Structures are given as structure tokens and as C-alpha cells.
Amino acid sequence: MSALTPFGARLADAVADRGPLCVGIDPHPALLRAWGLTEDVAGLERFAMTAVTALAGEVAVLKPQSAFFEAYGSRGVAVLERVIAEARQAGALVLLDVKRGDIGSTMAAYAAAYLVEGSPLAGDAVTVSPYLGFGSLEPALLAARANGRGVFVLAMTSNPEGGAVQRAVDTGGRSVAQAVVDAAAERNAEDLEEVGGTLGSVGVVVGATIDPAAGLDLSRLAGPILAPGLGAQGATVADLHRVFGPALPRVLPTTSRDVLRHGPEVPALRDAVRRVRDSIAEITG
């Protein structure tokens, strides 16, 4: 499929071929030290490209965390550009974790950087924040649709601080997180009616660590659900069914440190990711 095929369709094919696991590439200084690497651009590049070599042929989605590359300035961003290009060439979809959210021309500029064909930072999808209002994401949503990309909108995240905003309710009793999910569902319904398919390109981020009692209704979403928190943040594969229930077939469980800690040897990284992938397959069928 070409890059202009809707992201939802490309993701569905990738998951059918490789399973639903998403692995983060997070070059945290502690991980660089654990791998015996220097905390500089050379160490960053060695870490990131080893992860690409080990994982890009194994998983459906790789998720580089932009901040860890930006911390090294322009040379770090150049490494990120290489990660995006080489991971995609190896067959993985690249979800760039940037969590951008702004208004007007600034949001349009972010969209041009991360979602428009030809940009060196354009992967297959990005994470975005809706907390300036879901409507502020319009430039990103339009760019994603026009370029066959996807967006994952923060809804109910895995960090404990998020609940103060995301679980707040309006006068009708609907939580902020539910309003985000409902807006994403409306967008997917419009897009799927126009282009067809069964999986929309507007996903949401819902932590695998959340309490199901939060009552988040994902039944109308018709899009993917990125579920961070597997492994180091405390969520287990067994938790996925408990948290997501009937929405599980659309969930992309996400892990980073739990796989990356097995580096720097490529065979060890591959063995680790295959174990996680196989354990997920046991509960998802």
C-alpha cells in the first residue's frame, strides 16, 4: 500500500501481519548508560539505530519519543529523521510521539512538519493533545486525511496526574476524556463514510493502567486505541482484557523499557519483543 492509503487501512494490514504490539524507542539517558553507551549524539544514534535494526522487522508499529532526540539539538533531530526513514523502509509503521497541541497557524505548522508527505519528520502517525479544544486539532486532522496519515488523540492517559483534567465532567455528566473519544468517533464515521474501510485513522490514547470503573465508552470509536503502560508502568498483558473488554481487537498495547532493557544485543532485543508479542497473541486470538 502507498503512504496515501488511509492510515487505518495500513494499520489494519500491519496488525494482521505482525500482531498489534507497538514498541517505543525512548533513548532515555538511563537506558543509554545501561547499554554502556555515552550520553551524547553518538550514543543516541547507536541506541536508536540498534533498536530499529532489531525491531522494525518484527512489530507493526514503532513509536520514537521525539523529546529524547530533541534534547540533543539539531543533530539529535537528524538521528530521529533517520530512525523514521529506516524503520518505515523495514516495514514498520512509525508513530511519532510528539503530543503536539496548539491553535491556528501554529498547529498547521506542526501538521506540516509531522503529517505532510515529503517532510523528513513525517512518519505514519503522530500523537496530539486536544486540551486546547478538539477543534484546535483541525489542521492536523485535515493534513492526516490528505496525506494518508493518522493521529492519536490523548484521551485518558496512563499518568496519575491526568485524571484531574481527563475525568472532570460537564453538566451532562460526560467526562472530558469521553468527549475526546466521542469527537474522534464522529471524525472516523465521516472519514469511513467517504473512503470506506473498517478502521478509521483517528485513534485515541487510553492507558492500559486505567481503572475500568472510569466508564470510558469506546464502542463507537471505529479507530485504533494506543494503550501505553505495559511493562515498566505496571500494566500486564492480562490487564488488557480487563481494561478494554470488547474494544480489545482495536488496541495497540505499547511497551518501551520492558523491551529496550534487554539491549544492546540485537538477538536479545528480538527475543524480548517476540515474547511480549506472543503473550499478547494468546489473549487477542
Which residues are part of the catalytic machinery? 99
Q: If we measure between CA atoms, which residue out of 103, 102, 182, 113 comes closest to residue 149? A: 113
- Angstrom distance (rounded) from CA 249 to CA 28: 31
DSSP H helices, 21-92, are: 29-34, 41-55, 66-70, 74-89
Q: If we measure between CA atoms, which residue out of 279, 272, 269, 198 comes closest to residue 240? A: 279
> How far lies 138's CA from each of 68, 104, 185, 213, in Å?
27, 9, 14, 31
DSSP conformation class of 137:
G
Give strand ranges (E) for the chain. 22-25, 61-64, 93-100, 125-128, 150-156, 202-206, 225-227, 251-255
Neighbours of 81 (CB within 10 A): 15
Cis, bond preceding 264 (omega within 30 deg of 0) = yes
- Angstrom distance (rounded) from CA 28 to CA 70: 12
- Angstrom distance (rounded) from CA 285 to CA 262: 26
Question: Which residues, listed in sequence order, are joined to residue 64 by a DSSP beta bridge?
Answer: 25
